[in-house]
Amino acid sequence: MKKRFLSLFAAVALLLALIPAAVPFAIAADGDVITFPDPNFEAAVREVIGKPTGAITKGDVADIWELNVSDKNISDLTGIEHFTFLASLYCRENKLTELDISNNLYMTSLNCAQNNIDRLDLSNNLYLYSLNCRENNLTELNIRANSKLTYLDCSLNELMILDLTNNNSLDEIFCSGTHLTELNVKNLLELRTLICDNNQITHLDIRNLSKLYFLDCIANQLTVLDTKNNPELEVLRCSKNQLLVLDVSQNPKLDSLWCTNNFMPDKAVINGLNEAELSEFFYDLQNNDESNPLYRASDWAKVSIAKAITKGFVPSDLQSGYTDTITRLDFCRLAVKYTEYATGKTIDEILTEKGLQRDSTAFTDVTNSDVLAAYALGITSGAGDGKFNPYGQFTRESAAGMIMNLHKAMGYDVENPAPSNFSDAADISTWTKAGVDYCAAAGIMSGSGVLFNPKGLFTREMSIMTFDNMES
């Protein structure tokens, strides 16, 4: 028996002697060995696990929850799928063209910035809360499955569209230079930082973002920016847009304001501005060319025109030719649009409430719906003989009469206004004398010194400024 045992021991010893020295004593099963096609990635993993030679097994990487292989000249991360408990992956500044982390189900943080990735599938990464994929070649980014995201940086890609519908936990968004034409953030109630500069965004609704404290929307195509519901806002950078006015009166914590190179004609259109309380304030009039809707307006009218356009009651085709005499038709259009703005109702709603309707047979020379609505409301009347004379020139006294009628239609008390004392009162037509008195007493229209110049022609910019004065 003893002899048989010694023989068996000798056989085992001989077998072990024949195994090459390079093969470790504990041989891993083929299914446990991880293959890394990219030698740079393999070298980086070896450095992390402290294993310079020998097969790398799944057991070697099983406990790795954070992996930093940034700036390692890696072009292929195949093998990452075996890091099944990986929570944080940093692989920025490499040469990756694709990245498959579909098997890394517990991933919470991914930084793959500054690569050449053109597709990123995150549908299995339900716990992801931080994503930095900036400076890649992404043309789309689907993060609908990543509802836990609080941080997103996808800047300098070719996205054009960014759907944040299911990402209501976002606290910080960086999407600069991604060619976006729209960005819907109105339901991101936790958002505190929004950096969306150098895009082509035309509308940005931040009215629901009460926690927002840093907004950078420089170099977009915004014509309106409403910050009245952002009381925590400290930094506002909105330079290089098409803003005509800006209201910061409801931003008590504002510390830094950049609004250079917009269409704003004067600092007077920045409501609530207090330069003494700002650590940074940058403002100028650089964008004063023909792309500016105020370019050819008279300096004295620019502030009022800017406010009126922003309020939305100036038709787009009347946002030019400001020094031209306004026609009767266009003044009616302005009057109707202003009425809708001031009441918050459509002109059809107003007519219905009053039991009125347009009469298409009222005039033989005009069928414009705004003219007919103004006629139904008693704002305007015809020129006689069943005609309206829509393209007839409009005078100052005609404007005064129509404005009084407009206020009457809106429910104002226009009876028995205080008499005006213009020295040219004798030149005012009897039918519009009450209108001149009313507008002068209300501060809506004034004369030049002691003259009212009732027969003087009324221009587009005078008309727009007059309606803006009605707000004061």
pLDDT digits (tens, 9 = 90+) for 14-52: 333 433 433 333 344 556 999 999 999 999 999 999 999
Residue written as token pair 């709603």: 349
Task: Report the distance separating Cα 406 and Cα 400, nearest Å.
Answer: 10
Q: Which one-letter DSSP state was computed for residue 327?
A: B
Q: Give the pLDDT of residue 384.
A: 84
Rounded distance between C-alpha atoms, residue 49 and residue 440, angstroms: 85
Compute the mean pLDDT over every residue in the chain, rounded to the nearest whole number: 90
Cβ(365)–Cβ(382) under 8 Å? no
| Per-residue pLDDT tens over the stretch 244-279 | 999 999 999 999 999 999 999 888 899 999 999 999
Q: What is the pLDDT of residues 174-212, one digit of tens each?
A: 999 999 999 999 999 999 999 999 999 999 999 999 999
User: Dmax over Cα atoms in the chain, in whole Å?
Assistant: 143
The answer on pLDDT for 415 being more than 60 is yes
> Residue 457's beta-bridge partner residues?
395
Q: Produce one character per residue of 239-250: b if its CB has 16 or more CB atoms within 10 Å, e if not.
A: bbbbbbbbbbee
Give me the pLDDT at residue 42, please. Answer: 97
The pLDDT value recorded for residue 472 is 60
Residue 466, pLDDT above cutoff 90: yes
> Look-up: residue for tokens 């907004």?
215
Tens-digit pLDDT profile for residues 419-441:
888 999 899 999 999 999 999 99
**Mean pLDDT of the 155-164 span:** 95
Query: In this predicted structure, which of 4-8, 119-123, 346-350 has the lowest mean pLDDT?
Result: 4-8
Residue 66: φ, ψ to 5° = -135, 130
pLDDT digits over 214-244, tens only?
999 999 999 999 999 999 999 999 999 999 9
Residues contacting residue 276 through CB under 8 Å, at least 6 positions apart: none
Predicted local distance difference test score (pLDDT) of residue 287: 55
Written as six digits, the tokens of 77 are 């991360």
Residue 162's nearest CA partner among 182, 192, 137 is 182
Residue 303 has pLDDT above 60, yes or no: yes
User: Taking the model in full, what pTM does it have?
Assistant: 0.79
**Residue 123: its pLDDT value, please?**
97
Handedness of CA 433, 435, 438, 444 (dihedral sign): negative
Residue 318: predicted pLDDT: 93
What is the model's pLDDT at position 290? 73
Euclidean distance between CA atoms 166 and 414, whole angstroms:
53
- The C-alpha atoms of residue 208 and residue 332 are separated, in whole angstroms, by 36
Query: Poorest-confidence range of 107-111, 126-130, 157-161?
Result: 157-161
